Chain A
Amino acid sequence: MEEVKCYIPKTLKEALEIKAAHDVIPLAGGSDLMVAHKKTIGLVPEFEKPVMIIRNLSELKGISVNDKGECVIGAGCTAAEIAADERCPWHLRQAASRMGAIGLRNSATVAGNIANASPKGDTPGPLYLLDARVRIASLRGEREEKVSDFIVKFREIDLKQDELITQIIVPLSEDDFDYIFWHKVGTRKANAISKITVSQAIRFADDGKTVADYRLSATATGAMTNRSRNVENLLIGKEICDKTIEDVVNGFDAVISPRAMPEFRREATRRMIRRFLSEAARRPQNKVIDTYDDYHVTGQPEPRECRHKKGACHG
C-alpha cells in the first residue's frame, strides 16, 4: 500500500518550523485537496509532496472582534462556524451558509477557500467586497495582505514556501452600509457550485441621496473574483439615476470576462446591479435587497404580487 508522508504539528510554532524546513502541503478541511488527489476507491490518495495536517491547531481557531471593531476569523474556522456566528459580516455568513453541502461546510475552512483561488469559490466575493485581509505567519515574522492582492491570479496565491495563513480580518460589515445584497445562482438550490454570485453594499450620505460608498463584487465571472473600485467610483459622490446605474452596469460589464455561458453571466450581473441600485434608491425599510421581493422575507419565496418597477430588471 502506498503511503502519504504526514506531519501533524501540535502548535502553530511547530507548524511554522515544519513549513520552514520542508516543502509541505498544509491540509485543514481537506475538501478541495482530498478530491483533487484522490485515486480510485479503496486506494490511498496520491500527494506529490508531504502533507501537514493543521486542522486541530488551536491558534487557528476562533472568531473574535478586535479593538478596531474588525472581525477576526481564525484560518481554521469552518464554513459552518462562520455561517452560525453573528459576529461575522452578513455577506460572508450568506456565502458560507450556501457553500457545498452540510458535511462539506463542517469541514471546509475559509482560508482553504481563499488559498484554493478558484474563481467559483464562495467566500472571496464577500471578502473582496469588505476589504478583508489575510494575516500570514512564518518564522520570519507576520504580515498582512488584502485578500484581493493575495489571490494573484487563477489558482495562484502570494504565499511563500515557509508561510501559513493564520487569520482573516474583515474590517467592514453590514453595519457600515444602508443596503446590502448577496445572491448566488447555483447549479441547484443546495449543494451547489456557483454559476454566478453577486455581492453589493451601499451607504448614502447624510442628505439621503448622495452615494457615500458603493461596493460590488462578482464570483464566477472571470479567472478571479471581480471587483473594481474605479467602477464603484462612477456612483460614489453622485445620486442614483438611470444614467449612473447604467454607468455602473456598463463599467462592470467591461471588467468581467466570463468564459462559459458569457451571455447569461453578463445579463444576470447587469440585472442584479440594476435591481439593487433602483431598489436602494427607493429607500425601502428592509436593509436586505434581493433579486426578487419574496426571497429576503423567509428565504423561501411566498406568493405575492411582483413589485418590480419597469426598468428595474427588464432593462
Chain B
Amino acid sequence: MVAGDISKAVRRVDAVSKSEGKTRYVSDYDFADCLWGRLVRSSIPRGIIRAIHLPEMPEGYRFITYKDIPEGGHNWLHMIATDWKCFAENDVRYVGETIGIMVGPDKATVEDLRQKVVIDYEEQVPAVTIDEGLACKGGAFVNGNNIHCSLKLDVGNVDEAFAKADKIVTETIETGFQEHIYLETNGACCIPEGDHFVVYASAQCPFYISRSISPLLNVTPDKVIVRQITTGGAFGGKEHFPDVVCGPLLVAANVMKKGVKMFFDREEDIENSVKRHPSKVVFKTGLDKDGNITAMESTVCYNVGGYLSSSFVVLQRGCFHVTGCYLFPNMRTTGYGVATNTFPSCAFRGFGAPQTLFAVETHLCHIAEMQGIDPLEYKKRYFIKQGDTTSTNGKIVERVMIPEMLEQVMKASDYERKSREYKWGSGKGIGISFYNHGGAFTGNGEQAIIKARTKLHKFADGRVEILCSQTEMGQGFHTILPKIAAHVLEIPIEKVIFEDPDTSRVPDSGPTAASRSTMIVGELVERAARLMKPRYAKEEDFTVETCYEHPEGYPWDQNTFQGYAYLGYGWGVCAVEVEVDPCTAEITTKGIWSSHDAGHLIDERIVHGQVNGGVLQGLGWGSFEVMENRDGHFRQTSMSDYIVPTSMDYPKQGVYFVENPYEWGPFGAKGMGELVFNGSAAAYIDAVSRAIGKRISRIPLPTEEVMGYMLHGTDIKAGIEEVR
C-alpha cells in the first residue's frame, strides 16, 4: 500500500532488474533473420554528390538510397519542420549526413562493403560557426541569408528607455556544443509484418517516429508501429534523432522485404548525432546613474546546423528564458536560428533555455562586479514575483519562492561569509545563480498540438494497467506514474502495470520531453485514477480515459508569441564554491548547494537523483565538455577526448527543496527534469571568475582556458564596453 505522503521514496520498479543486468536494451535482442544495416554518410561538410561508386555487391547485399523511396513517398523526416531529408540527394550540408544504408545478412561483410563505397564530391566552402553562417561564408544555402528562423519579443519601450539611460553597455556571452553521452548509443530494428512495419527502438517518443518516417513510404502512421525498448538514457538526444536512425531502416526493410537492424558504436554516435545548440547572446543594457537596469535588449543566435528540424522551438524557448528569474522594466529580444554546415542541433535537456539563462546570469554578474557590488545583491533587485510581466507579456501565475530558496542555499553554503572573505582574485570563490524552466509545451501547445490522452484499464484480478506513450529512459517514470495511480486507488504499486509503449496499443499521450511527463501525463493518470476509484471495487474489467484540458483564462498566441508561455515554472537557486590551483589553473569544486521548486515532489529520491545528475551535467557543460567543430568535423569523437565529469570531480551536493504545490499538477507536482540542468554552469563560472579575478564570458572552460584568463583576462572590475 502506498500510504501517507506521496513524496516518500519507494524502491524504483526497475531497480533490481537493472542492477542485476537483466534489463534488455535494443541491441540485446536477437532479431534473428534480420539483415544488418550500416550507414554511408557524407565525409565533407558541404558539396555536391557527383557520383557514387559501389564495390562489387555479393548477392543478398544492397545499397539503399533516396532512389529506393517508393513512388509517392517523401524523402523527409518530419521533426516539427520537414526539411531534414532521410537520404541526401544531390548535395550534402554536413559531415555525417546520411547518403545511404548498406544492408545484408553478414555484419562484417556489410561493414566491409560500406567502407568500400566511394563518393565523388564537388566540395564547397562550409560555414561552421554562427559568425560564418551569418556572414554566408561560401554563399547562403538557406533562405538567401542563412537564417533558418527568427522571432522578436518586446515588452515596454526599449528605445525610449535607451534614450533616457545614463549609459548603455554591451557584451557577448557564448556557449558551446554539448554531446548527450547517454549510456546506451542509438539503435533500432525495423521488421515488415503483413501490411505494416514494426520498429523496435531506443527512443523517447515512439509516436514521433511513426509520424516522422511513415511519409517515406507514403503510408499512414498506424502502418509504422513503434515499440520502444527500455532506453539507456536520452537527455533529448533520442527525442527526434531516432527518426534519422529509423527512416533508412524503414526504406531498407521495404525494399528487402526483411527486417533490418542497426546499432551505433560510441564513436559513430558521438560523431554522427545531434548536439546542444552553440549560442551567442549579445546584450545591450541601459543603466541609470545609480547603475540600475532600465532596459535590456538581447540578440540570441543559435547554431542550428544544416537543417531546421525542431530548432525553431528550441530558439523560442531560449528567447522566452533570456530574462531569467528577473523583471526588467523594458525588454526586447530578437532570436535567430543560424544555418551552418554542422550536424543539425536538436533537443538537449533544457531545450534552449540553459544557453540564455547562462547568458543573463553571467551578464548580470558582470554589471554588478563592474560597480564593485556582490552579484547576489545586484540580482536581488530584479527578482520576478507572482503577477509580474514575463518576456512574452504574460504574467507569472504561481507564487515564486526564490527568497525562501535563496535563504536555504545561503545558510547551507555560508554564502554571506565566503562572498565577503574570498576577495576577488584570491584563488577562492563562491558563485550563485538563479534559474527557472517553463514546464511542458509552450503556451497552449499541450492543447493545440499534443492533445494528450491516457487510458487506465482495470482487470478482473484487481490489477490496473496504465496505457500511455511515456517512456522510461532512466529518469524513473516507470515508478512515478504507477505510484500516482496506486496512491489514488489506494492499492499496492505492484498491482499497477506500466509497460514500454507500443504505438498500436497505447493512446498518444505526447512525447517524453519538455519536463511534461509528470506534470501533464501524471495529472491525466491521477484524474483517470480518480474516475476509476469509485468503480474499482464494483466492476471487474473496464477502461477509463482522460484528455488534456488547458486551464481557461491564460491566452497564448503562437503567431505573435504573446501571452502566458508557461503556467508552471520550476525554479532553482544554485551556489558553487571553488578553489584554483595557482600553478596549474586546475579548479577544485569545494561545494555545491541547490534548492529547487518542483511543486510537490512525487518521489523524493528520484527527484534527488535528477538534481545530482542535472547539476553535474550542467557543470560538465560549463567546464570540461569541449566539443569543437573544425572545418565541419567534430574533433572530439570518443569518450577519452570528450570529457564528461565523473563523481570524483565534485563533492557531495547539498540538495534542498521548497514546498510549492502546483495547482494543475498531479498531487501538486511540476516538471523538473530540465530545470535541474539550467543553472549550475552559471554559478560555477561566477565562482571561478571571482576566484581568479577575471571576467569570463564563454563556456566551456577547460583548465587551459582558465590559465588563459589568468594570464590575459580582463579584470573582473573593469568597465564593460559602452555603446554610448
In the bound assembly, the distance between CA atoms of A43 and B427 in angstroms comes to: 50
In the bound assembly, the distance between CA atoms of A208 and B586 in angstroms comes to: 33
Return the CB mask of B692-705 against A: 1 if under 8 Å, else 0. 00000000001110
Known: A191-B646, A195-B703, A261-B704. A40 touches B265 (CB 8 A): yes
Contact, CB under 8 Å: A291 / B584: yes
Select which of A188, A192, A195, A301 is within 8 A of B704 by beta carbon: A195
Known: A43-B108, A185-B703. A268 touches B582 (CB 8 A): no
**Chain B interface residue count, Cβ-Cβ cutoff 8 angstroms:** 32
CB distance from A181 to the nearest CB of B (A): 10
CB distance from A32 to the nearest CB of B (A): 11
Select which of A39, A188, A291, A301 is within 8 A of B111 by beta carbon: A39
Contacts of B649 in A (CB 8 A): 188-190
Contacts of A44 in B (CB 8 A): 108
Known: A264-B703, A301-B579. A183 touches B584 (CB 8 A): yes
In the bound assembly, the distance between CA atoms of A2 and B112 in angstroms comes to: 11
CB distance from B513 to the nearest CB of A (A): 27
Contact, CB under 8 Å: B583 / A1: no
CB distance from A52 to the nearest CB of B (A): 24
Residues B381-423 near A (CB distance < 8 A): none
Q: Label chain A's interface by main secondary structure.
A: loop
Contacts of A261 in B (CB 8 A): 704
Contact, CB under 8 Å: A292 / B581: yes
In the bound assembly, the distance between CA atoms of A43 and B106 in angstroms comes to: 10
Select which of A1, A190, A275, A314 is within 8 A of B648 by beta carbon: A190
Nearest B residue to A268 via CB reads B584
Select which of A193, A267, A268 is within 8 A of B640 by beta carbon: A193
Contacts of A187 in B (CB 8 A): 624, 641, 643, 702
Contacts of B27 in A (CB 8 A): 41
A42 proximal to B (CB < 8 A): yes
Contact, CB under 8 Å: B583 / A268: yes
**Chain A interface residue count, Cβ-Cβ cutoff 8 angstroms:** 36
Residues A181-226 near B (CB distance < 8 A): 183, 185, 187-193, 195-196
In the bound assembly, the distance between CA atoms of A265 and B703 in angstroms comes to: 10
Contact, CB under 8 Å: B704 / A264: yes
Residues A11-54 near B (CB distance < 8 A): 39-44
Return the CB mask of A264-278 against B: 1 if under 8 Å, else 0. 110110011001000
Contacts of A190 in B (CB 8 A): 646, 648-649
CB distance from A115 to the nearest CB of B (A): 19
B263 proximal to A (CB < 8 A): yes
In the bound assembly, the distance between CA atoms of A263 and B27 in angstroms comes to: 45
Residues A68-98 near B (CB distance < 8 A): none
B613 proximal to A (CB < 8 A): no
> Which residue among A41, A183, A192 has the maximum number of chain B CB atoms within 10 Å of its CB?
A41
Residues B638-681 near A (CB distance < 8 A): 640-641, 643, 645-646, 648-649
A254 proximal to B (CB < 8 A): no
Contacts of A314 in B (CB 8 A): 582
CB distance from B665 to the nearest CB of A (A): 37
Known: A40-B265, A313-B583. A268 touches B643 (CB 8 A): no
A284 proximal to B (CB < 8 A): no
Nearest B residue to A295 via CB reads B581
B268 proximal to A (CB < 8 A): yes
Select which of B107, B581, B641 is within 8 A of A42 by beta carbon: B107
Known: A185-B703, A188-B649. A263 touches B711 (CB 8 A): yes
B690 proximal to A (CB < 8 A): no
Nearest A residue to B577 via CB reads A303
CB distance from A118 to the nearest CB of B (A): 12
Select which of B108, B581, B648 is within 8 A of A291 by beta carbon: B581
Known: A185-B586, A268-B584. A43 touches B111 (CB 8 A): yes
In the bound assembly, the distance between CA atoms of A272 and B707 in angstroms comes to: 13
A308 proximal to B (CB < 8 A): yes
Residues B583-638 near A (CB distance < 8 A): 583-586, 588, 590, 624
In the bound assembly, the distance between CA atoms of A189 and B647 in angstroms comes to: 9
Contact, CB under 8 Å: A271 / B583: yes
CB distance from A180 to the nearest CB of B (A): 16
Return the CB mask of B436-464 against A: 1 if under 8 Å, else 0. 00000000000000000000000000000
In the bound assembly, the distance between CA atoms of A308 and B580 in angstroms comes to: 13
B21 proximal to A (CB < 8 A): no
Nearest A residue to B650 via CB reads A189
In the bound assembly, the distance between CA atoms of A186 and B30 in angstroms comes to: 40
Nearest B residue to A41 via CB reads B265
CB distance from B103 to the nearest CB of A (A): 15
In the bound assembly, the distance between CA atoms of A167 and B585 in angstroms comes to: 37
B534 proximal to A (CB < 8 A): no
Nearest A residue to B38 via CB reads A40
Nearest B residue to A195 via CB reads B703
> Which residue among A264, A265, A291 has the maximum number of chain B CB atoms within 10 Å of its CB?
A264
Residues A258-315 near B (CB distance < 8 A): 261, 263-265, 267-268, 271-272, 275, 291-292, 301, 303, 306, 308, 313-314
Select which of B263, B588, B703 is within 8 A of A41 by beta carbon: B263
In the bound assembly, the distance between CA atoms of A189 and B702 in angstroms comes to: 12
In the bound assembly, the distance between CA atoms of A234 and B693 in angstroms comes to: 36
B551 proximal to A (CB < 8 A): no
CB distance from B590 to the nearest CB of A (A): 7
Nearest A residue to B27 via CB reads A41
In the bound assembly, the distance between CA atoms of A11 and B427 in angstroms comes to: 56
Contacts of B704 in A (CB 8 A): 195, 261, 263-265
CB distance from B302 to the nearest CB of A (A): 27
In the bound assembly, the distance between CA atoms of A190 and B427 in angstroms comes to: 23
Contacts of B263 in A (CB 8 A): 41-42
Select which of B582, B645, B708, B711 is within 8 A of A313 by beta carbon: B582
Nearest B residue to A260 via CB reads B704
In the bound assembly, the distance between CA atoms of A196 and B707 in angstroms comes to: 13
Contact, CB under 8 Å: B643 / A188: yes
Known: A43-B107, A188-B624, A303-B590. A292 touches B711 (CB 8 A): no
In the bound assembly, the distance between CA atoms of A157 and B588 in angstroms comes to: 37
Nearest A residue to B707 via CB reads A264
In the bound assembly, the distance between CA atoms of A196 and B585 in angstroms comes to: 12
Nearest A residue to B582 via CB reads A313
In the bound assembly, the distance between CA atoms of A264 and B709 in angstroms comes to: 11
In the bound assembly, the distance between CA atoms of A272 and B265 in angstroms comes to: 40
In the bound assembly, the distance between CA atoms of A313 and B581 in angstroms comes to: 10
In the bound assembly, the distance between CA atoms of A150 and B697 in angstroms comes to: 46
Contacts of B708 in A (CB 8 A): 263-264
Contacts of A268 in B (CB 8 A): 583-585, 707
Contact, CB under 8 Å: B427 / A306: yes
Known: A39-B111, A188-B645, A261-B704. A272 touches B584 (CB 8 A): yes
CB distance from B575 to the nearest CB of A (A): 16
Contacts of A275 in B (CB 8 A): 583
Nearest A residue to B711 via CB reads A267
Contacts of B427 in A (CB 8 A): 306
Contacts of A40 in B (CB 8 A): 38, 107, 111, 265, 268
| 16 A-B pairs with C-beta separation under 8 A | A39-B111, A41-B27, A43-B107, A44-B108, A188-B648, A189-B649, A190-B648, A190-B649, A195-B704, A264-B704, A267-B707, A268-B585, A268-B707, A291-B581, A292-B581, A313-B583
Interface residues of A, Cβ cutoff 8 Å to B: 1-2, 39-44, 183, 185, 187-193, 195-196, 261, 263-265, 267-268, 271-272, 275, 291-292, 301, 303, 306, 308, 313-314
Taking A190-B646, A193-B640 as given, write out 20 further A-B residue pairs in contact, using a Cβ cutoff of 8 Å, ordered by the A residue number.
A40-B107, A41-B27, A188-B624, A188-B645, A188-B648, A189-B649, A263-B708, A264-B585, A267-B707, A271-B582, A272-B583, A291-B581, A291-B583, A291-B586, A292-B583, A301-B588, A303-B590, A306-B427, A308-B582, A313-B582
Interface residues of B, Cβ cutoff 8 Å to A: 27, 38, 107-108, 111, 263, 265, 268, 427, 579, 581-586, 588, 590, 624, 640-641, 643, 645-646, 648-649, 702-704, 707-708, 711
The 8 closest A-B pairs by CB, nearest first: A264-B704, A291-B583, A190-B648, A271-B583, A313-B582, A261-B704, A189-B648, A187-B643
